[in-house]
Structure 1
């Protein structure tokens, strides 16, 4: 069965690149350019098997979005993988402490991303 990945990122270039890579590896992709839009898609689509969440977005950042997802019983079990350029010492720990299920730094290492996705 194909996995459906929700990509939430305010930069359409990142969405394009991630979607292209994942589709080539036989994933289905749904995209959102804001956290509120992504959360709405997640709530309305039970086929989503994982979320790739950008952390630094305007309006609502990934930290706030992850908290909302993990506090909503209907969608809390969907794994959220933070995909971010925040790669300073301590950032990964902070992101995981905020509720993300995994962390991938940008630029994305495709092999690492596929390995993480295979765990869910």
Structure 2
């Protein structure tokens, strides 16, 4: 069973916390701090269950990264959960419109995150 999750977040503390939580639940975790790095990882290995994508990152933000992922054959099928500190209703819709399957606001509620992951798998 594929249980690999890619975490993309420019804050190593967020990656650390998510990694601990998800590893404890039996997932294999890979992580990147930059969107371009994540896209390169995905092009080399498209066997991810889901991508947790921070929307506010330097250089290429989550919205641009989502657009690239959705337009790239071979990786465009991987579900993306947008993760962002922007928690207004219109932010959720903006993420869904950009191509995310779901949305989780920071600080992350683990139960909401697990529910989002399970809905997609």
> One fold, TM greater than 0.5?
yes
Cα offset for 1:46?
2.9
Match runs of 1:3-18 below 5 Å:
3-18=3-18
**TM-score normalised by L of structure 1:** 0.96
Q: 1:112 is paired with a residue of what secondary structure?
A: helix
**TM-score normalised by L of structure 2:** 0.95
1:3–1:28 CA contact under 8 A, matched in 2: yes
Q: How many residues are treated as equivalent by the alignment?
A: 120
- Poorly superposed stretches of 4+, deviation over 6 Å: none
Runs of 5+ consecutive residues of structure 2 not aligned to the other structure: none
- Aligned residue number for residue 51 of structure 1: 51
- Aligned residue number for residue 20 of structure 2: 20
Structure holding more helix per residue: 2
2:2–2:48 CA contact under 8 A, matched in 1: no
Q: CA offsets, 1:32-89, max 9 Å, x none? A: 0000001111111132111000000000000000000001121010001001101123
